[in-house]
A and B are shown apart, each in its own frame.
Chain A
């Protein structure tokens, strides 16, 4: 079985927020699955620290949200994707509290939790998740096998001469 991951190299993120809108184009939910947060600016030593950090479901190896769900509406698939089933979710919001990444939202209208399911409806049909499908101008959103992605990220980091 494949193991899929969505990995974002946030050193490269420019904060253009295109991934947010690409996600929005795919889903008509009011809740954001992915959003960019500013980290800084703050001064450390003589340097400014200033990043744009994408916040999105990490599809954890041992997802605390799945454990917290009394209805077993959240499950990790064998390929690594953690899927929240909106049909069986009762809206208790335990998962929202359990998520250490603050990556689960709540749809007030439908009264269900909502999170990034890694576009599994696309992935299962051979398509790349909406935010990762050649959208990002920094080419910093990767989808696929985590080991080879991390290798690519390292290779790019070694080549870079900027801070």
Chain B
């Protein structure tokens, strides 16, 4: 009998004649999976999951497996270039790193001299583990403006969890929750911040009950014991309704509520404003189902809520996050084994320290764009993107002269794409670091070739809240590509900040690790480090909040002049808030369903991933399709009050006929003209970024809930 062993790397090397296998840590999404990288003749030949990794347990996703297709792609930018034609002309000339970084440094210093450090904005896209180094650079340079996705992605979870209970409560899948409520999240496809689909799937195998809150049917929703198919954007009302049931049926954790929460009475008053009749009317979810879900969640112990970004990309962003934490809190699932835990990191210098937030002078911090408007965001160094576009286009409240975007493609990913495009055309100087010349990079003055995860040493998951850090080990060098970290370390010396930086970036890793007594060279010999695991820490220490309690009623929000309790606001564009718009645009458009293989705008070049999805797809209920004379596979026009785009129709019965579901971040790298079809199917041609449509605390825009009409494209 042959001995078969999963991920048998020694045998794999022998059979295929690989030269070596390097263990590393993937970063094709937010990062997070341990991998085995097989190398032959200095080239990556195969990537597999690392069975010893505590995060993914040997499994991997499409993106990780296909990384080499991205790394060795013929279109990949492998040396710095400067633009030699007009913006968007696609005319580039190769330059050296020295010329590129010297030019960038010179511009930065001259704008700082003439307009102040705040006129230089650094930015990154979704979390690519370069956040801390970018913030460090900006803070030391003196700019309070770092343009991120943090206003509507993960930033709100961090900000609201810190003010509510001290840290982001992470589902303790390792100890198998008995009930999991998946809220606006397709964890098995999206692998969201701090989570992978695998442990969730295993927890279901171990017998967990499942509740799914999602306007769209997913496989998880089909498997769920209760599926709450809510009207998009009404999550806060639904959660307040569930709190109402839990409070009024006495299903809450008495000990926790009596001893460890702040603001119980006002909270009870607030939830009493959301009786189920009202909640049913708002959410379109039958009240019997809400009751059933609330009871199941509150009476099954331990229970957990698997949340994600969808609830944050709405006008109720901060309150959505907060009310879900309130559900976790009042049911006693916070910091409980098998519930959601406030995990402790290993004893390292954390992202806050590394990010050097403390060194930004107060007068500079006070200049943070949108700081008066989106005060919770600003407290966490987050800005609303429109504030940057306005500062470029209208020079209000002061001019922004330079953008340095690092792994970010805002032309595709930020709401009101046409305004973004205008701002990038208008800005005095734009530098971009990325793998490819994207539609955003096409507007740059200089584009720098960024290294992928396979081309860098780094402490992976440094910024996460699950308590692990893992070594990402450099496997190969491609062209002249450099990691964002090395690039900024070098640039820091060129703008005269060398004393706060390092000779090379490995020494920065040593500095982060120093409190553990390890150097990078020591750490890289380990599989991972984990912080001490301890449950119910609040019993002795309280929570890390101003009242030392779990703040149902937020003293921080109150001080900032916000409603200290979660409330439901109607979506800015909806059948109820804008009936006149609804007359002309009679469908609710949801966006941003996650697709296997893609990570926002990325990977549409990789053949194995693109063949999974060749075209942008809009899902339409068969009844709606019939009404609008649309057939499966037709190209259709989706039109909102702000513009129109084209997608291909797919008939999908797992949606309310009043809702259609389109995809985000579609551009076409195979189109060789410099626009790469950026406006053709770009969902952000349809979205709105006006301040009044944003969450008042975080500045999140409502990119996932709009009104639209849909009709066949005339051929």
Contacts from A to B (Cβ < 8 Å): 2, 12-18, 20-22, 24-25, 40-43, 48-52, 122-123, 125-128, 133-139, 143-144, 156, 159-163
Contacts and interface: CB of A to CB of B under 8 A. Distances in A.
B2 interface: yes
Contacts of B2: 2, 123, 126
18 contacts: A2-B2, A16-B61, A25-B47, A25-B65, A25-B608, A40-B222, A41-B653, A43-B653, A48-B217, A50-B217, A126-B2, A127-B8, A127-B11, A134-B7, A134-B51, A137-B56, A137-B196, A163-B225
B201 interface: yes
B207 A160 contact: yes
Contact of B59 (A20, A42, A134, A143): A134
List 3 A-B pairs, minimum CB-CB distance, nearest first: A41-B654, A14-B188, A50-B222
Interface of B: 1-8, 11-12, 15, 46-49, 51, 56, 58-62, 65-66, 188-189, 196-198, 201-202, 204-210, 217, 219-225, 227, 596-597, 608-609, 612, 652-654
Contacts of B46: 25
A139 B15 CA distance: 25
Nearest to B58: A134
A41 B62 contact: no
A37 B1 CA distance: 35
A162 B596 contact: no
Contacts of B608: 20-21, 24-25
Contacts of B189: 14-16
B223 A20 contact: no
A130 B36 CA distance: 14
B596 A18 contact: yes
A137 B652 contact: no
A51 B534 CA distance: 39
B8 A126 contact: yes
A16 B66 contact: no
A14 B197 CA distance: 10
B219 A18 contact: no
A16 B596 contact: yes
Contact of B11 (A50, A126, A136): A126
Contacts of B652: 41
A17 B62 contact: yes
Contact of B219 (A22, A50, A127, A136): A50
Nearest to B47: A25
A133 B202 contact: no
A143 B6 CA distance: 10
A126 B197 CA distance: 29
A43 B62 CA distance: 30
A15 B62 CA distance: 11
B209 A162 contact: yes
Contacts of B6: 128, 133-134
Given A2-B2, A14-B197, A17-B596, A161 B209 contact: yes
Contact of A161 (B49, B60, B225, B609): B225
A22 B198 contact: no
Given A21-B608, A160-B205, A14 B15 contact: no
B58 A25 contact: no
Given A2-B1, A127-B8, A137-B188, A18 B60 contact: yes
Contacts of B7: 133-134
Contacts of B220: 14
B654 A135 contact: no
B73 to A, nearest CB: 15
A8 B24 CA distance: 29
Given A12-B201, A128-B6, A48 B188 contact: no
A41 B654 CA distance: 6
Contacts of A43: 653
Contact of B65 (A13, A21, A138, A143): A21
Nearest to B46: A25
A160 B208 CA distance: 7
Contacts of A12: 201, 205
B659 to A, nearest CB: 14
Nearest to B227: A48
Given A16-B61, A135-B59, 7 more contacts: A21-B65, A48-B654, A137-B61, A137-B197, A159-B205, A162-B208, A162-B210
Contact of B15 (A15, A51, A52, A127): A127
Contacts of A13: 219
A137 B209 contact: no
Contacts of A159: 205-207
Given A125-B15, A134-B59, A163 B222 contact: yes
Contacts of B201: 12, 14, 137-139
Given A125-B15, A127-B12, A52 B62 contact: no
Contacts of A143: 4
A140 to B, nearest CB: 9
Contacts of B596: 15-18
A161 B653 CA distance: 25
Given A25-B66, A51-B219, A135 B8 contact: no
Nearest to B3: A126
Contacts of A122: 15
Max count, chain B CB within 10 A of own CB: residue among A42, A49, A134, A139: A134
